[in-house]
Structure 1
Amino acid sequence: MPFINERLDANRESIEKDRAASGPVRVSRFRFEPDAVMSRLREQIVGQPEALTAMEAMLVRVKADIGEENRPLAVHLFLGPTGVGKTETVRLIAEAIAGNRDGVCRIDMNTLAQEHYAAALTGAPPGYVGSKEGHSLFDPDKVQGSFSKPGIVLFDEIEKASKEVVRILLNVLDTGRLVFPSGNREIDFRNTLIFMTSNAGALDAEAYHHRYQHGWRRWLGLRPGNGQVLRDSALRRHFDPEFLNRIDQILTFNNLTDNWLEALLDIELAGLNKRLARKQAELTLSPELRAELCHGYDSRYGAREMLRAFRQRLEPAVARALLAFPESRQFEADVHNKEVTVHQYVE
């Protein structure tokens, strides 16, 4: 988009003039603050200290604006099972930087499993219907961002895309540009944070840990591995070395164990209370109900398991209480014989 590029160049020249006039004062062109972004991430993402540390390092580097000029600002691949915070991490970064969780250009790679779907990214080749229009799944505004805000792109479940689609991304990751086959359009990724998620190797790692729990190694007191070898093997099966070599960092998200149930519960309750605040209402949970909601948690489904418990068991009872007591502002949820009830809070 020539207009956007002209504005970027104009803003860059303006800041450079200000720097020259004011002396050696280093001013970042990016307005986001890494500490503010990380505060939001640490409030919402649990059990992933290594991944969050890596995100903090990436944000600081981007803020300082010392990266290569002819590559995306950052390229990260998130590995791990479902429901552990991979996609949520990207959405929270978008919310903190762009002011909107939908500020990320998300491409569901599951829909690009066939080779001919590559045209959904780059437009139809010359001579085919739609080649002149140059339609693409990419939203240029979200991809390119602005001079003060990086664009954010998420390739979700990258391992499900066809080989042809993945090959298209090679040039994007290497040079930060995507040129359409028609030759009359280009999307610039040099001002973009690129994230990819994958479940590759997650099932193999889960099976490995299951065998450990029921095998002789546990009885001998041997510690299990972290499954990283299995994940590395799965990556090599799914992706060519030249693709993996263009990724800045591959991060593995941990399974969410019982140690994080209380934290997950508090996060979901805070989200529910945020929605209830629009109805001038607030909900508290009895200790018995908290224990009940955590009971039977299946770590295979991560945080989504807790969300399902809220939607299926707690929210219907909350809705009935809101309709029954429209003037009440304080409610307490309890459980008796597996039945969740919500009533007006009485001190």
Structure 2
Amino acid sequence: MADNFLITGSEKLASRKNFKLVGRTEKFEELCTILTRMESNSVIVSGPSGVGITTLALALQARKSDPDAPFDIVNKRLFWLDTDGLFGLGDNDAIVKQFKAIFATLNRTPDSVLIVEDTLDLIDALRNSGLMHIVNALTAMVKAKKTQVFLEVREADLTQVLKCHSDFRDHFTLMDLTEPVGAELEEIALHGARDLEESYEVRIDPAAVKAAIDMSSKYRSLDTGLTAAQPARTRTLLDRGMARYLLRAHSTPPLLAELEAELARLTESGSSSGDQEKAASVRAAIARHKAEFAEYQAKIKGYYAAQRDGEKSIAQMEAQLRGLEEEEKKRHLDDPAGKTSTGDGDFDLIARASGYATPEILKLRGDIARTQAAVDENRVKYKAVTKEINDRLLFTASMVIDEFSLISGIDASKLKQNDAVKLLNLHGSLKRRVFGQDAVLDHIDRAVKVWRRGRRTDRPLPFLFCGASGVGKTEVSKALAEALFDTDKALNRYDMGEFMEKNDVTKLIGAPPGYDGFAAGGEMTNSVRANPYQVMLWDEIEKAHPDIFNICLNILDDGRCRDNLGRKVEFGDVVMPMTTNIGADHALRVGTGPGDLSQDEAYELTIRDLKKAFRTEFLNRFEGRENIILFHKLNMDTIEKIVFREISRINAFYAAQSIDVRFPEAQLREFCDKIYSPEIGARGLPGRIKRIEAMIVEKTMADATFSGTLDIGFDATSRNFTSNWIAHDRKAA
């Protein structure tokens, strides 16, 4: 009975055509070692979804057929538990009966190993059915060394699985399967790409695989639907990209877009004889591709129609055949009179009842066979035409990037820039977003370039940004995220005002065992494990509890830390700016008047204050204080640039509604002069500008079809905006 819900290793392997374990040599050897030793030789393998635990289990069965396989592994009898089938019975008595049969099979089979693919699902099903005693029985068999068990567990579920039985930790060896990286990941991904090539019958450029690895590794913090671990993320991205590419390539000639773009370029470039000749050649190529593709499409549609009609005809004839066979069987096997005749006619009846067919049935079977042969021949022709089209296709790195751009919303032109180009353009990218801090941006630009292109270490890049509120400390962090990782969503901000108590450290690395939230892990460590490429902003670091600094020192020293579950978290690709308002008073006194400070004097006074607030070893972690940076206070020219940028953003957003905002320069300057305060910096300005947008929203809500110009003024007495709407002439428009 157990055979129904125990899948043998050979059956499992047969379901995976051309299975081969690629990479994972060390982990596979570790698994084999665990299974062949005397004590704690059952195993719980945990890892993120998609990391390849099931593949590792299946590799055990595949290894048995290798000529050099050790007999310790060859002797193992592997069984997979069909959990879904078991609990699909829906009857607890039947489920218990089946489990008893399963345990009996495992008990009488020497060197048996039971493999459970989703352990938490099994435990939840047993708990919901009131059958947790089955876990006790299975654990008792493991303790008695009557069988071995291989439990596959998602890392997020590990704590819940370990809680379900106190003996799991003593009699099972825990094995953590982490994501492959580097050459191993590339080797696995290339092997997976070959499977996709066979499935789609389209070639994949190896550069496309590398691009998929890069995209799915670097940007996995985004909500892209690529939530599994590597190598599954890379395969998913390739799969999605190829599906979209084929839909387009099979609906329009693959090279048509390129030829039309080339024709448009030649048409715009001028009317020289050379361009005209090239344009004529391109037009001819376009016409040729269109005609050729139309011919292919006509053939494919014809084959498809013939295929559909043939299959429909076969289905009708088979239904007719079944009716005739049933009728013949009933007519010749039933003898209501209970008599048996011995004439020649009765011999024919007996012969038919014994399996001989009537002429009508024989004819119908022949028709079905001939139609099926025609359908099979038609299918071969269909595949030949589609293969001829697909052989011309190549899935490239550019297509991977375009697909990821659609998924993530990041502009494809940014994704196509390599790191060297991004670093080359870093200073300009920062200056376009942050005004009035040129010296600060110069410093950050140099530090990032040395960190990324100089002698690499495993440590993050730390900064301590000092200065008054609203001078751009947070904005620089956002600009860094956008410049290095193509989106400011790569910024993770931690407000240290929320980490002022001793127990708040658990928010970062997770709660200790026995406390609520232990299984969830830490907010910071989970974030970096999910996405090691990020800018991690620790805002107002002076407010943090001293224990937070201990964690920070460990990260800045070693480039890693461990979370509450003991998992190592690497910070080698993280930029870690920290902000503080210490030094604000000194920065605000920088000037050229009597009693004012120079920038260097303000910096020295700030360092003095920092020494009072922080431990020396903490300050030394910022590249020997090289990356402790004092931001300047903003001058009026900078404030005017910020306000003008906000007005420009409003205009860009409402341009589709034909609404334009005008703010005369004199009025803008007066607004900045009256509203700006160095103590709060530019922080309050966007809120003021929102009032302008509120005027637009009110107007468009009252009249959804309105279009016009909003003239903004500023009343210095009331310190409020004035407004005047000028409607556009719709008739003229």
- Measured against the shorter chain, the TM-score band is 0.7 to 0.9
CA distance in 1, matches of 2:696, 2:435: 26
Map residues 259-298 of structure 1 onto 2, 5 A cutoff. 259-277=637-655, 279-296=657-674, 297-298=676-677
SS, match of residue 523 in structure 2: coil
Q: Which moved more, 1:86-95 or 1:284-293?
A: 284-293
1:165 CA drift (Å): 0.6
Report the alpha carbon displacement of residue 223 of structure 1 after superposing the two structures with TM.
Answer: 5.0
Counterpart for residue 47 of structure 1: 436
1:157 matched to 2:540: yes
Task: Verify the 8 A CA contact 1:328 1:344 in the aligned structure 2.
Answer: no
Q: Match of 1:24?
A: none
Structure 1's 29 and 267: CA in aligned 2 closer, same or farther, altered over 3 A?
closer
Residue of structure 1 equivalent to 2:455? 67
Residue in structure 2 matched with residue 315 of structure 1 by the alignment? 693
**In terms of mean alpha carbon deviation, does 329-338 or 303-312 score higher?**
329-338
Query: Does 2:598 correspond to 1:225?
Result: yes
Matched AA of 2:563:
F
**Equivalent in the alignment of 2:464:** 77
Identity of aligned residues (%): 25
Q: Is the 8 A contact 1:78 1:197 kept in 2?
A: yes
Q: How has the CA–CA distance of structure 1 residues 177 and 278 changed in structure 2, closer, same or farther, with 3 Å as cutoff?
A: farther
Task: State the structure with bigger RCO (CA 8 A, min sep 6), 1 or 2.
Answer: 1
Q: Residues 323 and 76 of structure 1: is their aligned pair in 2 closer, same or farther, counting only changes over 3 Å?
A: same
How far did 1:193 drift? Answer: 1.4
**CA–CA distance in structure 2, aligned partners of residues 50 and 142 of structure 1:** 34
Q: Which moved more, 1:298-307 or 1:278-287?
A: 278-287
Partners of 1:197 and 1:300 lie apart in 2 by 16
Letter paired with 2:682:
A
* Maintained 8 Å contact 1:104/1:142: no
The residue aligned with 1:174 is 557
Task: Give the structure 2 partner of residue 56 of structure 1.
Answer: 445
SS of alignment partner, residue 482 of structure 2: helix
Q: Structure 2 residue aligned with 1:243, among 618, 624, 640?
A: 618
1:186 paired residue among 568, 573, 580: 568
Rg bigger for which structure? Answer: 2
Matched residue type, 1:47: G
CA 1:114/1:8 → structure 2, altered by over 3 Å: closer, same or farther?
Answer: farther
Residue 6 (1) aligns with residue 168 (2)? no
Say which of 306, 314, 317 aligns to 2:685: 306
For 1:228 and 1:197, locate their aligned partners in 2 and report how far apart those are by CA, in whole Å.
15
Give the CA deviation at 1:273. 2.4
How far off is 1:113 after superposition? 0.8
Whether the 8 Å CA contact 1:156–1:196 is kept in 2: the answer is yes
Greater helix content:
2
> Could you tell me how far apart the structure 1 residues matched to 2:714 and 2:585 are?
37
Q: What pairs with 1:121-140 in structure 2 (closer than 5 Å)?
A: 121-138=508-525, 139-140=527-528
Task: Tell me which amino acid in the other structure corresponds to 1:300.
Answer: E
After TM superposition, list the pairs within 5 Å mapping 1:252-263 onto structure 2: 252-263=630-641
Unaligned runs of 5+ in 2: 1-46, 52-177, 189-206, 208-416
Give the secondary-structure state (helix, strand or coil) at the position aligned to 2:425.
helix
How big is the shift at 1:292?
A: 3.3
Of 159-168 and 271-280, more deviation after overlay is shown by 271-280
Q: 1:67 to 1:104 in 2, by over 3 A?
A: farther
Larger mean Cα displacement after TM superposition, 303-312 or 161-170: 303-312
Aligned residue for 1:299, secondary structure, equals coil
Contact 1:321 1:343 in 2 (8 A): no
CA distance in 1, matches of 2:185, 2:643: 45
Amino acid at match of 1:58: A
Residue deviations 1:44-63, cap 9 Å, x none? Answer: 21110111101221332244
- Give the Cα–Cα distance (whole angstroms) in 2 for the partners of residues 336 and 54 of structure 1: 38
Q: Counterpart amino acid of 2:450?
A: R
CA distance in 1, matches of 2:418, 2:187: 11
Other-structure match for 2:405: none
Give the conservation status (yes or no) of the 8 Å contact 1:178–1:187. Answer: yes
Shift of 1:31: 6.5
* 1:96, distance to aligned residue in structure 2 (A): 2.8
Choose which of 491, 496, 500 in structure 2 pairs with 1:109: 496
Alpha-carbon distance in structure 2 between the residues aligned to 1:333 and 1:240: 54
CA–CA separation in structure 1 for the residues paired with 2:429 and 2:570: 28
Deviation at 1:82, TM superposition (A): 0.9
Going from structure 1 to structure 2, the CA distance change for 1:230 and 1:293 (only over 3 Å counts) comes to: same
Native 8 Å contact 2:490 2:535 kept in 1? yes
Q: Which amino acid aligns with 1:306?
A: L
Partner SS state of residue 683, structure 2? helix
Contact in 1 for aligned 2:470/2:682 (Cα 8 Å):
yes
Once the two structures are overlaid, the 10-residue window that deviates more, 124-133 or 290-299, is: 124-133
Quick one: structure 1 residues 51 and 328, their matched pair in 2 at CA, closer, same or farther if it must change by over 3 Å? same
What is the rounded CA distance, in whole Å, between the counterparts of 2:637 and 2:714 in structure 1? 25
SS in 2 for 1:301: coil
- 1:84, distance to aligned residue in structure 2 (A): 0.8
Distance in 2 of aligned mates of 1:273 and 1:197:
32
SS in 2 for 1:77: strand
SS at match of 1:58: helix
Q: Amino acid of the residue matched to residue 598 of structure 2?
A: G
Task: Rate the CA distance shift 1:203–1:191 in 2: closer, same or farther, 3 A.
Answer: same
Q: How high is the TM-score relative to the length of structure 1?
A: 0.79
> In structure 1, what is the equivalent of residue 581 of structure 2?
199
Query: Residue 232 of structure 1: CA displacement?
Result: 1.0
Report the 3-state secondary structure (helix = DSSP H, G, I; strand = E; otherwise coil) of the residue aligned with 1:300: coil
Question: Relative to structure 1, is the Cα distance of residues 40 and 199 closer, same or farther in structure 2, using a 3 angstrom cutoff?
Answer: same
| Equivalent position amino acid for 2:582 in 1 | A
Is 171-180 or 38-47 further displaced after alignment?
38-47
Equivalent residue letter for 1:159: E
Deviations 1:157-204 (A, max 9, x none): 111111111111111011110112442x22210121111111112145
Deviation, 1:125, is 2.2
Is the partner of 2:654 in helix, strand or coil?
A: helix
CA deviation map 1:72-113 (0-9, x unaligned): 2x1111111111111111112212333322211221111001
1:23 corresponds to: none
Task: Tell me: CA distance 1:225–1:99, structure 2 relative to 1, closer, same or farther (3 Å).
Answer: closer
Partner of 1:6: helix, strand, or coil? coil
Deviation of 1:308 after TM superposition, in Å, equals 2.7
Letter in 1 for 2:578: M
How many angstroms does 1:276 deviate by?
2.2
Three-state SS of the structure 2 residue aligned to 1:154 is: strand
CA separation in 1, counterparts of 2:662 and 2:650?
10
Q: 1:315 to 1:292 in 2, by over 3 A?
A: farther
Is the 2:639–2:672 Cα contact (8 Å) retained in structure 1?
Answer: yes
Q: Partner letter of residue 181 of structure 2?
A: R
Superposition deviation, residue 39 in structure 1: 2.4
Contact 1:42 1:52 in 2 (8 A): yes
C-alpha spacing 1:142/1:75, structure 2 compared with 1 (3 Å): farther
CA separation in 1, counterparts of 2:582 and 2:502?
20
